[in-house]
Structure 1
Amino acid sequence: MYETGFRSQILLQRASRLFGLWTALWVALAPLPVAAQTPAQPNADEQEGEPGDAVPPAQPAAPGAPSAPTTSAQDSDAPDLVPTLPPTEAEQARGQPVAKITVAGNRRISTDDISAYLGQTRIGRAFSPEGLSRDVRELWDSGLFEDIEMDLTRRDDGVHLRLLVRERPSIKAIEFKGNNEVDDEDLTEALSAEVKTGTILSYAAIRRGIQKIRDKYAEEGHFLAEVENEVVPQKDNQVTLRFTIKEHEAVTVRRITFIGNNSIPDAELREVMLTGQDSLFNFGTGGPFRQDAFERDVLVLNALYYDRGFLSAQIATPRVMLTPDRTGIEVTLSINEGPRYRIRSLRIQERDADGRDVEPLGGRRRIRELVRAKPGDWFNRAELAKDLAAIQTLYRDEGYANVEALPDTNLDPEQREVDIAVVIRRNQPVYFGRIEIRGNTKTRDKVIRREMEIYETGLFSESKLEKSKRRITALGYFERVDISTEQGDDPQHVNVYVEIGEKPTGTFQIGAGFSSIENFIATAQVQQANLFGNGQSLAIQAQISGLRQLVDIRFIEPYLLDTRFSGSVNVYDQLRIYNQFSQTSTGGSLTLGYPIIEPHLRASLAYTLENNRISTSTTSTFLGTASAVSVFQRLPLANLFNDGITSSIRPAITYDTRNNQLFPTAGMFLQGSAEVATKYLGSDNQFWRYRTTARFYYPITDSIVIKLNSEAGLVTSPDPAGVPIFARFFLGGIFDVRGFFLRTIGPRLPLRATLDDHAPPIAEGANIGGNLMYYQNLEFEFPIIDAVQIRGVVFTDLGNAWNLEQLYCNAAPASPYDVSNPCFTFSRLLNVRTSWGFGIRWFSPLGPLRFEWGFPFSPLPYEESSRFEFTIGNFF
C-alpha cells in the first residue's frame, strides 16, 4: 500500500474543510485540474476567503470547443461560476526551504539509510511537491516498508516534514515440508540468490524463489513439482517462511528419436548420451530427465560428429514433449549431418616473432611423427587435439610454457576435403620463480619439496610439474594436492603454488576373529605415517590370541640424513603357537634403500638378527605364557627342533608406480627379494628364501577399481635336515586366502599325537608348512555410500603351499587329499585352494575397516563352508 497525507496545524477556512477528504487521499501532491463542475449555489462559508488566498482566474475554453450557455447577470436564479480547488499545503510550501526532516517508526533500518532515498528533499533545499513525490516513490520501491506516511507543516523557519514508516518483517527461518527427493541444504542453496534468512520479506523475491525451487526439482527430473509458500508471523516483526512441496513422480525419458542421422546409427548416438541411460535403480524406465545433462548431451553429439569428420554438422533445437499421462518425456533431435571431410593436406611449421619460418624443436620429422593424421584420413578433431597437445608438451618440457600450436582449417565443400595448417610459435623460454606451499599445517615444507622434480630458477617443464604432483599425492598424507601457476615478477618467470589438504595420517587398527583352533584373536596397531610432520613412519603392533603373541616396533626414515638413502629399524618379540609346535623369536632388522631410477625403482638391503626357539611345551614372552595345543611327540620331522640364532641378509628390488602408498587406486607394485641365512654370517639356521610380490590397481571409473595381488615364495636349505619349520610357508586366513582358518592351508602329515605306536593319529593330519608357496587375490571394489566412504568388495582368492623335501614325503603315509599331499609333483601345482566372498569397507577416521565373508569353493570335510572375519587396515 502506498499512502501519503499532508496535514497542517494552521486552521483552514471552511473552503479547505470542503475538500479535506479529497486532500487526505490525494496521491499526486500537485492540485488536480477540474474537468467539469456541476453548477451549484455556493454557501456562505465558501464565499468567505482565506486572507491572502487568491482564486485563480477561469481558464478560457479551448478553440473550437462549444461555449457554455450564458445567463444574464440580472437573472438572480442563474448559478455562479464553477469554483476552483484551493492550493494544497504542499503547493503553498513550494519554494520554501526544508528546515527539518523527522523519521519515525523505523527499528531495523537506520535513519541515515532512509534519508539516503530522499534525494530531492533535503534540509536547506527549496521544497518541491514533485520532488517529494519522487523521493517517497523511490523509498517505497526499495521494498523495505509496508506503509509510508508523510506529514508536512509550514512554519516561520521553513517546511517541517515528518516521515512515518512501517517496516516489512525480516525472515527468521526458512522451512521445507514434503521434500523427500531433494535435501533441505540443496533447496536452501537454490533459494539463496533470492531469499535467505535475515533478509527483508519480499513477495516478489518469494515468487522468484519458488521458481528456483521448481528449477531445482526439474534438474532432478521432477517437472511436475508444486510449491506453495506460507508466511508465519513471529515475535519482533519477524516471520518464518514455509515452503510446502508436492514432488509427484519423476518424469522419465520414454523415447529419444533421432532424425537425419544417416551416417551414425541411433544406438551409437544414445551410447554417448546421459539422457535416457538406464541404471540399476531405474528398472528399465530410461532414467529421469535432467536439463543440465541434456544440454551436455547436445554438446557431446556435436563433438562426436566433428570427430567423425562432419565439420558442418548441426543439431537443431531439440523438441521435448510430455507424454499424455504427464509422467514421461519424448525427446526428438533433428540432425543435419552435412558432408564428411577427408584431410587433403596437413602442414605443420614453426614461425618466429617476425613471422619467418624456423626449424621446429627437435626437427620437422620429430614434430611430424607426433601427429598421427595423414592426408586421405577422415578428419578427427579429438585425435588432432591430442596430437597438438603432445607437441605443446614437447615444447613446454623444454621451457616454452607459452607455446602456441593452433590449427587453421580450410574447407572445400565441393570436394569434401579440408586443408589443415598448424603454426607453432614457441615464444620466450620461461623459468620457475617462487615455489610456495600452502595448507600444510603439520607437514613440513621440506617433506613436500623433496618429492618435487622442479626447483626455483629451473627451466619450466610441464611433465616434471605433473610428476611432482603425483609424487606428493603418493605420500598418502593429503586428501588433495592442487598445483597451479601464475606469472611471476616478469613474463619469463612463473610462480608455482602447491595447495594441499592434509588428512589424519595416524591410525589405530584393531582386528578380531573366531576359530575353533585359535578361539578369540585380537590385534592392535598404532601407526603414524607422518611422524611430527617429518615424513617418518612409526608403527607399534601388538597381537594376542590362544596361539599367537606379538609386539613389533618399526621406524622408517625415507630420506636418511637428508640424503637419497632410506633407512628403517625393526624390533620385535613374538610367539607363534601352531597346532604342532611353538616358536619364539626375539630380534630386529636394519634396512637401507636407494633409488635406482627416481622415483619408481629402488634397491634395498636388510640385515636380520634374531633368536628362535622351537618348543613342544609351555613357552613364554614378556606378554605372558602359552602352551602348544597339540605338539609333535614323534620325530619324523628332523627339523622340528632346529632353532638358535638366525643371521641373514636380504637384498630386494622394488618397482612402485602406485598413485597413493596408503590407498592406491592406480599403478603397480612389484618386488623381488632373496634372503640368505648362512653360517658365514654366524647363523645357526641355514636357508635360502626367495619371495616375489606383484600388485596391480586398475581404475574402471573414478570410483570403481579392480585390484590384483599375487605372492610366490620358495625356500631351500643346504642342511640335510631340511628347512627349519619356522622358515616354511603357512597359508590361510584373512591376510592371504580368505574363507579358511588361519595357517591351515598346506601339506599335512598323519602323525600320531604321542610316542605310543597305538596312539591315534592327529586329527586331519599335522600341517608342516611348505617349501613352495603361491597365492593371489582378485578384488572388485566399488562405492556404496560415497558421502561416508563406505565401499563394497567382491573377491576371489587362490593359493596353496607345497612340500619339496623328500624326507617328509617318505616319513608317513600320504594325505588322502591331493591339495594337502606332502609328496610334490609338477602336476600338483594345479591343486590349489580357492574361495570367493564379499565384504564391506569403511574408511573411518580410525582407519579402513574390513568386514569380509569368505566361502571356500571345495571345502574339505573338516573345514567350514564359510567364514567371517574383520579387521582394520588395508589388505594390499
Structure 2
Amino acid sequence: MIRHCLFSVILPMSTALAGELGVIKSVAVRGTNSGVSLATQVGHSYDARVIEQDLRRLWFSGNFDDIRVEATEEDEGTAVVFRVTEAQQLRLHAVLIEPSSYGLRLNLPQGTPMSRLRSNQIALEARKQLRSQGYTDAEVDYELTPVAKRKVDLRLIIKASDPVRVKEIEFAGDPRLDQKDLRGALRALRIRRLFPGVPGIWAGWRILPAYSPEAVDRDLARLEALYLSKGYFDARMRLEEAVVSGKEARVRFLVQSGPLYHVREWTVSGDRVGSPQAFCSAMFAARRDAEREGIIDFSVTLHVQPVANAVADLTARIVHGQPYRTGRIEFVDYARYKDATLRRNFLLDEGAPLDEGLLRKSVARLNRTMLFEPVSERDVMIRPNEKTGEADISVRLARRKRGAWQLAGPAGPASLAGPLEASIGSRLPPWGSGIFELSTYTASVSMLAFAHPILPALSVAAKMPRLPVFAVRRPFSPGEGWRSGFSVVPQLGWRASAVSYATTQIQQRTLPLLAGNPGLKPELQVAVERPMGEASMFCALPPARFLNWRRGAVLALQILGAVSAS
C-alpha cells in the first residue's frame, strides 16, 4: 500500500557540508535516463535557494517519487548529486471515497495516469469542493492501493464536521439600494425561500446556502458589480463580520454606495448607446460575432471619466485576439463508443472557425445522450497554436456505470402520473456500429404496477395491474435524431412502442427550445476602470420571453410523457 500525507510534501535532502561551500565543480542526476533541466550549473556559486527551486521543479513534474540532494566539498569545488527514484507508471482502477456521502464530483475515468503528485492534486480538489459545500474544517488524506499490475485504487479519506449554513445576511452602512435587489445579486450566499412562514408560528421553509470564505468573496464582487451597473461608480463594500456558531453563520456586509452618477454619454467603439441594457446588448452581439469568426480571446473594458460633480462619461473598449480554426477534436476515455457516435453530437467541424458558441451547444448535446457523467467547462480543453492559427480541442469523458437499478413512482396520482416501477438494467457490450452499435442500447427487466388510468384510450395495460417487462431501449441522442429514442418491449406491443417513440421525439426536440437552453450563453464580465481603482461588472442575459408560458408548456409535455407510459 502506498500512502502519503496530503498537506506535507517531504523532499529528503542530505548534505555533507563542512563550512561554506564555494563554486560548483560538477552536477549529476542519478537514478533516471530522462533529461532534466536544472538551474544548478557548473561554474556557478553554490546557492541553497537554487537547489531548493530545482528540488521543487523535479517534484512537481510528477516524474519522481523520491528526490535527494548530496553536496560534497572537494579540492576543486563542490560536487552536487541529485538522486531520484522514478515514479511508477500507474493507472487508476477505481476511486473509493470514505465516507461516500459527501457527493464529490471528481470525474476521473478508469485508466487515468496516477502518481503521488496527481493523487495529492485530486485530494486538494476534493477538499476545495467540500469547503465550498460548507465543510469549513474538511481535511482529505489519500491512499494508493495496488489491485493489479500497474493498477491502483485511489482511496480518499475525508474528515469533516457538520457543514456550516448561512442563516442570516445583513447589509450595514449606506446601501441605498433596496434589500430585495441586494439579496437578488447574491449567488453563493443567497437564501432561497420555498414557502413563506407564519409570523410567530413557523419561519417557513428555506434553503440555506453553504458558508465559505470563497463564497463571501465571490458575492462581494457580485454586490460591487450591481452598484456599478446602477451608476454608483464610487461604491465600496467589504465584509464587516462573519460569525460562525456551530452549524450556522451570520454574515454582515458594510456598504458605502457613494453618489449616484448621471451618465452623460455612453460610447462603444465610437458609437453612442443610450442605456446599460443597450450597452450589454451591444457587447453580447459583439462577442457572438467574434465567436463566429473563431476568436476565443474577447474582453471588454469600460472607462469611467468623471466630468463634473456626479456626472461621468463612459467609454467601452473591446479587445480580442486572433481568430482560430478548429484543429483536432479528440475525446478522452470513450473506449466503449465509436468515435463517429460522439462526433455526430458535435456541431463543430475540424478546419472550420472555432466557434465557442457551437462548442457549448456541442457539449450540451453530448450531455443529453446520457452516455457519460455530465461534461462541464473543466472537462473541455482548448489548446491554441498562434503560429498555425489552429486550436485543438480535448473533451474528457467519464463513463457512467454500466449497470443500474431503480425504484420509481409518480409524483402525483398513479392514475395520471404513471406506474410504480422496480427495474434493473445494464448497457450492452461495445459491439456493432451505426444504428446497431450495441453500447448505445440498454436492456432492463422491470416490474410495473398500474392504477386505473384516467385516459383508458392511451393506456397500455388497462387489464394488467402488475406487469413484468423486458425492454431494450436506445435513449434519445441529438446526433442520432430519429434513429434513437425508441424501445422494444414485447409485453406491451407495438402500440405502446409507437406512443413511447412519438412522445420521446416530441419531448426531446421541444423541451430544449422551451427551456431556452440556459447556460449556453454565459454572462459577460466587464472590467471597469474608475478613479478609485479597477473593478468588475457583469452583463447578464435578460430572462427568456414568455417565461411562465414556457414553464407551463414544459410541464404539459412532461405530463404527456407520463400519461403515455400509463
User: What is the TM-score when the length of structure 2 is the normalising length?
Assistant: 0.47
Q: Which has the higher contact order (CA 8 A, sep 6+)?
A: 2
Structure richer in helix, relative to its length: 2
What TM-score, normalized by structure 1, do the two folds share? 0.32
Bigger Cα Rg: 1
